[in-house]
A and B are shown apart, each in its own frame.
Chain A
Amino acid sequence: MAVGNTPLSVDDFINNSSVKECMARLSAEFKSRPFIVSDVLDDKGCQYANLVQKGGGVLGIALVGYTYILEEMGIRFIRLAGTSAGAINTALMTVIGRKEEAKSIRVLDEICKLNFFNLVDGHPAARWLIKNFITEQDFTAKVKKWITGILLTLALLFAADFVFLGLQHALPGISVVTKAFFIFTGFFLLLLSILIAYIATLLKRLKNSGYGINPGDYFYDWIKQQLLANGVKTVSDLNAKAEAPIPGLHLRVPNDEGLIGLKGDVTFIASELVTQNKIQFPAMCNLFRREEDIDTLQPAGFIRASMSIPVFFESYFINDIPCKENAIKDEWQKLGEKDPPTTARFVDGGILSNFPINLFYNPRVITPRLPSLGIDLDDTKPDNASKHSESWSIGGYFYRMFNTIRFYYDKDFLIKNAFFKKGIGTIHLPDFNWLNFFLTDADKIKMFVLGAQAATDFLIKFNWNDYKNDRNEMRKQLLKEQTPGMPMPSKILTTT
Chain B
Amino acid sequence: MSLTIHNELFVFCLLFGLMLLLSIVMTILGSEFYTKDVVIRKFSIFDIELAANPLELANIIKGVYMLPPSQSGKTLKAIRGQLFFDFLAMPCAYGSVFLLCKKVAERMDTPLAQQAFMILAWLQLVAWLFDIVENIYLLVKINPDPIMPSRPIYTLYLMMEVVKWGIVLVGVACSVSAICYFWLSGHYSPGSVPYIIIVIVEVILFLAVLIFIPKKNILDENQ
Q: Which A residues are closer than 8 A to B by beta carbons?
A: 123-124, 165, 168, 175-176, 178-179, 182-183, 185-187, 189-190, 194, 201, 204-205, 208-210, 215, 217, 316-317, 319, 342-343
Contacts and interface: CB of A to CB of B under 8 A. Distances in A.
Interface residues of B, number: 30
Contacts of A175: 109, 185
A178 B43 contact: no
Between B59, B108, B176, the greatest number of chain A beta carbons within 10 A of the residue's beta carbon is seen for B176
Nearest to A127: B52
A117 to B, nearest CB: 14
Question: By DSSP majority rule, is chain B's interface helix, strand, loop, or mixed?
Answer: helix
Q: Closest 5 A-B residue pairs measured CB to CB?
A: A186-B177, A190-B173, A182-B181, A186-B173, A317-B38
Contacts of B178: 179, 182-183, 186
Contacts of B159: none
Contacts of B52: 123-124
B181 A179 contact: yes
Contacts of A210: 39, 41
Contacts of B43: 208
B184 interface: yes
Contact of B176 (A176, A186, A204): A186
B38 A319 contact: yes
B177 A185 contact: yes
Contact of A186 (B59, B109, B180): B180
Contacts of B53: 124
B7 interface: no
Contacts of A204: 44
Given A205-B47, A208-B43, A187 B170 contact: yes
A175 B46 CA distance: 40
B37 interface: yes
Nearest to B112: A176
Contacts of A187: 170, 173-174, 177
A182 B180 contact: yes
Nearest to B181: A182
Contacts of A186: 173-174, 176-178, 180
A178 B185 contact: yes
Contacts of B46: 201
Interface centre among B55, B59, B110, B177 (most CB of A within 10 A): B177
A209 B46 CA distance: 15
Interface in B162-203: 169-170, 172-174, 176-178, 180-181, 184-185
Contacts of A316: 38
B113 interface: yes
A168 B185 contact: yes
Contacts of B110: 176
B62 interface: no
Given A168-B185, A185-B177, A201-B46, A208 B41 contact: yes
Contact of A165 (B47, B59, B173, B184): B184
A321 to B, nearest CB: 12
Contacts of B44: 204
Given A317-B39, A319-B38, A165 B185 contact: yes
Interface in B127-177: 169-170, 172-174, 176-177
Given A182-B181, A186-B178, 6 more contacts: A176-B109, A187-B170, A187-B174, A205-B47, A209-B41, A217-B55
